[in-house]
Chains A and B, each alone.
Chain A
Amino acid sequence: MPGLGARLGRGGATTTLASLADSDCIVIMGSNMAENHPVGFRFVVKARQRGARVIHVDPRFSRTSALADLHVPIRPGSDLVFLGALVNYVLNSERWNQDSFFREYVLHYTNASVIVSPEFRDTEELAGVFSGYDPEQRRYDPTSWRYAGEARPLEGERWPCRPRIEPERDPTLQHPNCAFQVVKRHFARYTPELVEAVCGVPRELFREVAETILANSGRDRTTAFCYAVAWTQHTIGTQIISCCALLQLLLGNIGRPGGGILALRGHATIQGSTDIPTLFDLLPGYLKMPRAVPEHATLADYFATERPATGLWYDMPKFMISLLKAWYGDAATPENDYGYAFLPKIGGDYSFQSILTMMKDGVIKGLFVMGMNPAVGGQNARLARQALANLDWLVVRDVHEIETASFWYDAPEVRNGEVRPQDIKTEVFFLPAAIAAEKDGTFTNTHRLVQWHDKAVEPPGDARSEAHFVYHLGRRLKELYAEDESPAGQQIRALTWDYPTVGPHGEPDLMAVAREISGYRFADGRPVAGFHELADDGSTACGCWIYAGMVTPEGEHLAKRRRGDDRASLDWGFAWPANRRILYNRASADPQGRPWSERKKWIWWDPEQGRWVGYDVPDFPATKPPDYSPPPDARGLAAHPGTAPFVMMLDGLGWLFVPVGLLDGPLPTHYEPWETPVENLLYPAQPRSPVAPVFVRPDNPYHEIGDPRYPCVITTYRLTEHHTAGGMSRWVPWLAELQPAGFVEISPELARELGIANGDWVVVETARGSAEARALVTERVQPLTVAGRTVHVIGMPWHFGFGGLATGGIANELATLVEDPNSLIHEAKSFTCRIRKGRLREGERE
């Protein structure tokens, strides 16, 4: 999310699946779209039939590659070099420099002309780190990355905010320190030759990709990028995505039909679960979770630190106070900061990986697992199971008895006698869960579309929805704390928890929850029409401001709308924000508000009506004219000119250079994966991310760079036939039979070297653990020549585990805990291992 968020303003996909059908070129990179999003892929096929070019950049030749025009085999973990080289190639290409479209787009819609602080030093100057690096703390002080120019405090604010920034600009883009020139210099060494050396991609092939993308970007043509977790799951995952955003900004592909960046998410509502986050560092609507620091001590402190003077986030108090009203109701008053003190303050990293180590170290004593399977899906899965075994209690809610529920008697280490159930103290509850068809509610899909699903039948047996479980748990706890005057008691007592119940099982009324999420006037409960109606005086309540208006004042839930059409399908479901389908769609028109071309028109300014019109809901103030120029003291959105498409950004512009918001630098820079067989050819002195959070502990050993014991690169992935850690597929006979066993894909070259025949048993090993699987010897995997030597890549689906019908070695047994500093997402797409023929004998461990 931060990859797109830092440059464009929002972490969500900028476009829709259907819009891919309008593309002239689709680059699928960091994703195996045909396999993992088959139905989404039909729009790629549609575009393909209309003549679009499809390029698949991926280590393996997959079912996506089979329908592509070009398959570019790339070493896992080298994506940023490829993208950086595209940036370099584009900036030095004839087409980009001659076609006025690119310059016009970049000049008006990006911060290319902004002058960067003279204190800034690039990685090219400091041998692989940016200025402000503290090697002791392994973190950056980003002060030197700021814009040159003043920051002016604003006065007369009811709620405080950060000072307003007024940077210097050079519209000629010639100033050596303008963002454009800084970017150009930064990527100067990212050449086709470097791509060949680092990625293993022949330079001619790279050139062909670059030329295809260039030829299919411009006034009349658009190129779209699709990515998934094969970009995310790297220590530099955020920067890979951000590099793509940078490239798409330079090519003028953001905010336009058939363009943009489509983030392909893997779960039914993984987008929704970040919008309404079950994540430790966020509150609903991407409000930051307050931290235990003096800067967040009070609500006013929080705003003074987090709230910008310009852009849509200026309205943050409206969103935050409405959230506090939704949660604490009458207990949220102006006098008590609307209950801000009730909100817990975070004091560290409680991300997934940290939770595992906190469990293992005995800090966390009780755990709820709802629809997740960390015993298989958790990195360093053995550590994950040890962590489960160290809990006092564990509640697992799922449809099948997944490995996370059965680890205490069925895990490999229990089966081989290393651990006995009698030694595991964890008190385990397995509660059967309901399935979507058995409950009301909404999912938010990969392009931010919220859709309601009806309850068709009551869940069978003891199966209940999570809403039922959480609601009744909360009800019981409120009863238990009814008389408790302690701070802990006050917190739970302040919470509003009075949803009506319906049906034979006393399910909470989901429409009541939906109304709270969507927002309402506190006094009379009337739903608000949108986030523009939210107030910062406690008169409105709203559980998630970006979903505001989803329940209309008339009481209709917009996610229940089911009228599709051939274009944006604005009457099918509800897309946040405000039902906008293509984000930043102001950029689909030129600075004067006219469509860039007839073929690519989407929204445009209608001077007669005095508003933006078109096929979509404008992601822009509807009546702000293109020639609007903000007065000097304007705040919020009013401070953006009529040409600024990126409403969430401080200056309304897409950022080529990111002065704030990223922890590992203002520009994407290639670092090798944490475990890699080769040196970093760009920065020999700084081979790996200087700021990646690491978990240095005996139960999480790392391989050194080029460790001869672990010469192969392994990448993990999913298959069409299964879903994530298998809880919803390995137990389902029709799916299990399609891919009944765990396997690793290896090239015939490697197979020959190791004497492995197709179908043989093999064991893959890392310092963390081993996994047994069947060998699938296939030419679809190929050894790559990197830095003059052969690197063997092996692939392993990570679905499999010891439970269910389709079983196999756990790929995450091999993976390690190491994170991207921005997203705190682990690195599963590239690490090192060794592979041997044979079986994992009972009890055999390193």
Chain B
Amino acid sequence: MSSTTGVGRTRARPGAFGFLTDTTLCIGCKACEVACKQWNQLPMDDFGFTGMSYDNTGDLGATTWRHVAFIERIADREGRRPARLQPFQSNWLMLSDVCKHCVNAGCMEACPTGAIIRTEFDTVVIQQDICNGCGYCVPACPFGVPALSPLDGKAHKCTLCYDRLRDGLEPACSKACPTDAIQFGPVHALLDRAKARVAELRAQGVEAHLYGDEALGGTGGIGGLNAFFILTAPPEVYNLPAKPELPQRRVLPGFLTSALAALVLGIATVLAFRREKEGHRA
């Protein structure tokens, strides 16, 4: 986070839509999780008590497209609990995680069937009539978003309510969010709002920062996240990578070194065969 390059910058198209998830307003109610399951008719999954604070969801998955993380940081290192709190959710962090709808999306570039597309809203959607469940998008996502469903064998993730957007409706999660911790809108407008909010929080002494610009979260060729976040702790605390990289940045270099290796091996083989020829001539 020391680098200031790319702070507050995104390569999102002017017409792109996305989410701003402001953790400082989140009350961890999980309305987003349920509203998402309701609209998208996703079944209950991974049922069980985890003991991880109030998080019994655990992770984003094929049938969980919003996940609220709970991080308790009540006491200091000596175990003393403070009474005076930093303004806005400083001691019990809650973050509603979601697909980031990357400006350059690893899952989409990886998809060998063209099932994953960028929509007219600049969101990233897995077309369910195309996906054949190859599963390559799953490890290709630097954020752990898409997952294969054992129910239908296909990959699933947040669609940013593509069907609702088509009818001019707000996505289910941001609509439901009681405290407007999740806001939906044009990425650039949301980004301006987020920057103002971060500045406001910093003025109040809160260590707030933006996650999802080209300096943090949207790094390494990702070009920014269309669903971005305001955090008050290092991203790792929320299980978010600080400076992820677009995996496809490694495709061309990988092929180049492979080609080089192929060349070397080819020459070596030819030489080996030539030597056989010569050896027997001699």
Contact = CB atoms under 8 A, between A and B. Distances in A.
| A and B in direct contact, judged by CB atoms within 8 A | yes
A805 interface: yes
Interface stretch (A62-70, A582-590, A601-609, A674-682): A62-70
A240 interface: no
Q: Chain B interface residue count: which class? A: 35 or more
Contact of B47 (A61, A205, A736, A782): A736
Given A39-B178, A774-B49, 16 more contacts: A42-B178, A42-B180, A61-B74, A63-B92, A67-B25, A67-B88, A73-B81, A720-B29, A733-B43, A734-B38, A735-B34, A738-B30, A738-B33, A740-B47, A740-B49, A759-B51
Contact of B85 (A70, A736, A778, A805): A70
Contacts of A45: 25, 27, 179-180
Contact of B34 (A41, A734, A748): A734
Interface residues of A, number: 46
Nearest to B43: A733
A758 B50 CA distance: 9
A298 interface: no
B168 interface: no
10 contacts: A38-B29, A63-B54, A65-B92, A66-B89, A66-B91, A721-B30, A735-B34, A758-B51, A776-B51, A805-B44
Contacts of B43: 733
A69 B87 contact: yes
A57 to B, nearest CB: 11
A38 B31 contact: yes
A61 B29 contact: no
A35 B92 contact: no
A779 B57 contact: no
B30 A720 contact: yes
A158 B31 CA distance: 57
Contact of A70 (B37, B48, B54, B83): B83
Given A67-B89, A743-B49, A737 B44 contact: yes
Q: Is the interface of B mostly helix, strand, loop or mixed?
A: loop
B27 A737 contact: no
Nearest to A781: B74
Contact of A66 (B50, B75, B81, B92): B92
A38 B83 contact: no
B269 interface: no
Interface in B49-100: 49-51, 53-54, 56-57, 72, 74-75, 79, 81, 83-85, 87-92, 94
A781 B29 CA distance: 19
B45 interface: yes
Given A39-B178, A739-B56, A63 B49 contact: no
A805 B87 CA distance: 37
B28 interface: yes
Contacts of A164: none
Interface in B16-39: 25, 27-31, 33-34, 37-38
A73 B92 CA distance: 15
B46 A737 contact: yes
A71 interface: yes
A772 to B, nearest CB: 13
A34 interface: yes
A779 B72 contact: yes
Interface in B102-154: none
B89 to A, nearest CB: 5
Interface of B: 25, 27-31, 33-34, 37-38, 43-51, 53-54, 56-57, 72, 74-75, 79, 81, 83-85, 87-92, 94, 178-180
A202 interface: yes
Interface centre among B48, B56, B72 (most CB of A within 10 A): B56
Given A42-B179, A69-B87, A779 B49 contact: no
Contacts of B81: 61, 73, 779, 782
Contacts of B28: 63, 66, 720
Contacts of B56: 737-740
A749 B257 CA distance: 57
Contact of A780 (B33, B74, B179): B74
Given A67-B88, A759-B49, A205 B83 contact: yes
B193 to A, nearest CB: 13
Nearest to A61: B74
Given A740-B56, A778-B53, A67 B44 contact: no
Contacts of A41: 27, 178-179
Given A45-B25, A65-B92, A778-B72, A739 B54 contact: yes
B233 to A, nearest CB: 13
Interface in A201-222: 202, 205, 208
Interface string A717-733: 00111000000000001
A39 B29 CA distance: 10
Contacts of A64: 27
Nearest to B197: A49
Contacts of B88: 48, 67
A743 B51 CA distance: 9
Contacts of A741: 48-49
Contacts of B33: 734, 738
A400 to B, nearest CB: 15
A35 B29 contact: yes
A780 B47 contact: no
Nearest to B92: A66
A450 interface: no
A72 interface: yes
Contacts of A65: 85, 91-92
